[in-house]
Amino acid sequence: MKQEEHTTVLSQDAVNLLNNASNIIAITSHEFKTPLTAISAAVELLAARLSNNQQMDAFYEKNLSRITTEIFRLNSMLDEMLTINSIMSGRMSLNKQLTDVVQLLSTLRANYFADPEDTRTFELSITGTPRDIYADQNQLTRIFMNLVGNAFKFSREKLPLVELNFETEKVIIRIIDDGIGIPAEDLQYLFQPFFRASNVDEIAGTGLGLSIVKTFVTEHNGTITVDSIVGEGSIFTLSFPYHADSR
């Protein structure tokens, strides 16, 4: 029996509906940020008043800090929703330019914070002769923020390590942590939207971060792979070509 080919053509009404839904997600995500700012500012005002009146103790400090951490975590989730919404609605624009990856990572290391109270940094190792790549700096920053952020979230004793190896045709970047690792059966689904590994229930996340990373890496003609052993850690390996075809 001949298999019929089906082509789905969306009506104008359906296209309008999808556009409206996308606009609603974008508008409400932005609108959430102002009350989040008001809550964050109120927490800081409370903390300042308690300190000034010499009433701040470990209990207040811990719980006020926890509220602030959760506010910024919620904000990260909103940013991920906004990004995935832009990708799905085709509104993500690329602005590729020659980018110094070492400088970008060094700046990130100097300014990096996973949580407002987290002052840890990551180790950076470079081999080969550094060369620029054509990249959208916003997207490249988001890629590193996500992968290094995950390395911090899951690492235990050692600081996360970022290795840059400048090969002849491409730069290989490895982000290494000694975290809880990812179960082998989960690895194939890791870059799918909303997927979360089976051993991270206690750790906050939307399951959108790695799918966004994968989309951004693909936009740069790059690749991303992961090697992981439960209980020992994970290594995310990125590669980006130098050549101008990637513009």
Partner 1 sequence: MQYTILLIEDKTGLRDTLQSLLELHHYQVITAANGQEGIQLATAHLPNLVISDIYMPVLNGYQLLEAFQAHEKLRNIPVIILSARSAREEITLALEKGAAAYINKPFLFANLNANIRELLHTSGTATLNH
| Interface residues toward partner 1, by CB under 8 A | 30-31, 33-42, 44-45, 48-49, 52, 68, 71-72, 75, 79, 95, 116, 138
Nearer to partner 1, 49 or 158 (CB): 49
Closest approach of partner 1 to the CB of residue 42, in Å: 5
Nearer to partner 1, 75 or 237 (CB): 75
CB neighbour list of residue 61: distance below 8 Å, 6 or more residues apart? 47
Nearer to partner 1, 14 or 98 (CB): 98
List the structure tokens of 69.
């951490």
Closest approach of partner 1 to the CB of residue 75, in Å: 6
Nearer to partner 1, 66 or 158 (CB): 66
Nearer to partner 1, 31 or 232 (CB): 31
Closest approach of partner 1 to the CB of residue 65, in Å: 12
Closest approach of partner 1 to the CB of residue 93, in Å: 8
Closest approach of partner 1 to the CB of residue 96, in Å: 13
Nearer to partner 1, 52 or 168 (CB): 52
Closest approach of partner 1 to the CB of residue 180, in Å: 29
Closest approach of partner 1 to the CB of residue 27, in Å: 10
Measured CA distances, 79 to 26, 44, 85, 243 (Å): 10, 22, 10, 31
DSSP string, the chain: -PPPP------HHHHHHHHHHHHHHHHHHHHHHHHHHHHHHHHHHHHHHHHHTT---HHHHHHHHHHHHHHHHHHHHHHHHHHHHHHHTT-----EEEE-HHHHHHHHHHH--SSTT-----EEEEES----EEEEHHHHHHHHHHHHHHHHHH--SSPPEEEEEE-SSEEEEEEEE-SS---GGGGGGTTSTT---TT-TTS---S-HHHHHHHHHHHTT-EEEEEEETTTEEEEEEEEE-SGGG-
**Cα–Cα distance, 174 to 188 (Å, whole number):** 19
Nearer to partner 1, 77 or 126 (CB): 77
